Amino acid sequence: MDAGLLKKWELLAGRYDELTTQLMDPSVIGQSTLLVKLTKERTEIESVAQLFHRYQEILKQLDEAAHLLADPSAGAELQALASEESAQLEAERGQLEAQVLEQLTPKDPRDEKNVFLEIRAGTGGDEAALFAGDLFRMYVKFAERHKLKVEIVEASETGKGGYKTVIAVIEGKGGYGLFKYESGVHRVQRVPVTEAAGRIHTSTVTVAVMPEVDEVDVQIDPKDLRIDTFCSSGAGGQSVNTTYSAVRITHIPTGVVVSCQDERSQLKNRTKAMRTLRARIVEAEREKQEAEIAQSRKAQVGTGDRSEKIRTYNFPQNRVTDHRVGVTLHKLEQVLAGDMDELVEALRAQRDHAAVAEAS
């Protein structure tokens, strides 16, 4: 465990013990305001402190097991038991470290929000568009695993399951917390279905992730909006190309443009478009404020060049590699089927370590 994190954990446990002693002091019990304050502080750190005390017990037991294993006079049966106990203690130790890391990490208040997901084909032409479709379906399946609902806001299809662009809103508790690590350039290496010679091509898709914002979080003057309606385009439906149900909204001060044609109702399309617009305006302001630390959306997705990748999906090797955490999984098919939790947990753990180190 990181020394800084361990020290912080130890200090919190010490503070808990100190508060426990104080709360037994008659002079404190007689002061209602102070009693409430100290009780509240103790309650807030109780879980972390209890984890630390158990952690200390595990370290002591591991030390005892190690001495027994190193003792040549100990019988084989006794050493076998010590070895088994040591393995169990190490597993529990790892679980405790993961728990405390999560508890000591500053929470992102946006994690519980709905999320807007934008996927755009980058370098690679038709193959990039096909992989954009693969990524979108991967995210839909991942969302379903976590009981989240996915609705398309805007899509530009290329046929055969490909997308030049697809924008969706993902609704449900914890949506942004699950998807926020996906922003960036995703690189695919495979033989395209259009490749007659069997050569491996490298293509890219860019992904941007934005938390949804409430109406109270951003004030939009209706006078600043230009709203255009047009006929939907796409496959099927009597309303396609016959009614002006699609909506395009331009926010004149910022130049942000959003459109929605997924619903047959103009009102529903307008509602969806306004949700997207609010998220983009807030995200644009955030990018402006955080440009110096490369948190802008442009920095997230780059230009779409093959060298600017956060993750590589290599089909010949059945491999997925996340370059930010150095994690490689040889189960590409499962990942594309929505089994992304191992990648997300690795990225979350990296963020937690960094956040705790920064706060220490």
Whether 281 contacts 254, CB under 8 Å: yes
User: What is the DSSP pairing of strand 327-329 with strand 256-260?
Assistant: unpaired
Joined together, the tokens standing for residue 65 give: 């097991």
Quote the mean pLDDT of the chain: 85
Please give the pLDDT value at position 295.
43
Q: If we measure between CA atoms, which residue out of 120, 137, 129, 127 comes closest to residue 336? A: 137
Among residues of the chain, what percentage have pLDDT more than 90? 48
Whether 338 contacts 144, CB under 8 Å: yes
Joined together, the tokens standing for residue 18 give: 């100190």
Place 114 in a pLDDT band, splitting at 50, 70 and 90.
very high
Q: Give the C-alpha separation, 240 to 245, whole Å.
A: 9
Residues making up the chain, counted from first to last? 360
**All domains of the chain in start order, with CATH:** 3-104 (1.20.58), 115-216+295-359 (3.30.70.1660), 220-289 (3.30.160.20)
Average pLDDT over residues 150-177: 91
Q: In what order do the strands lie in the sheet with 246-251?
A: 225-230, 246-251, 256-260
Of 154 and 207, the structure prediction assigns the larger pLDDT to 207
Of 1 and 266, the structure prediction assigns the larger pLDDT to 266
Please give the pLDDT value at position 133.
96
Average pLDDT over residues 309-314: 95
pTM of model > 0.85: no
Please give the pLDDT value at position 357.
60
Of the listed ranges 211-225, 270-284, 285-299, the least confidently predicted one is: 285-299
Please give the pLDDT value at position 265.
81
**220 Cβ contact list (under 8 Å, min separation 6):** 251, 274, 277, 278, 281
Distance of CA 160 to the CA centre of its chain: 29
Please give the pLDDT value at position 98.
81
Average pLDDT over residues 87-109: 84
Of the listed ranges 103-117, 140-154, 283-297, the least confidently predicted one is: 283-297
Place 229 in a pLDDT band, splitting at 50, 70 and 90.
confident
Q: What is the pLDDT of residues 179-206, one digit of tens each?
A: 999 999 999 999 987 776 788 999 999 9
Place 217 in a pLDDT band, splitting at 50, 70 and 90.
low
pLDDT at 46 over 80: yes
**186 Cβ contact list (under 8 Å, min separation 6):** 131, 135, 204, 205, 206, 207, 309, 310, 311, 312, 313
Q: Identify the three-state secondary structure at position 248.
A: strand
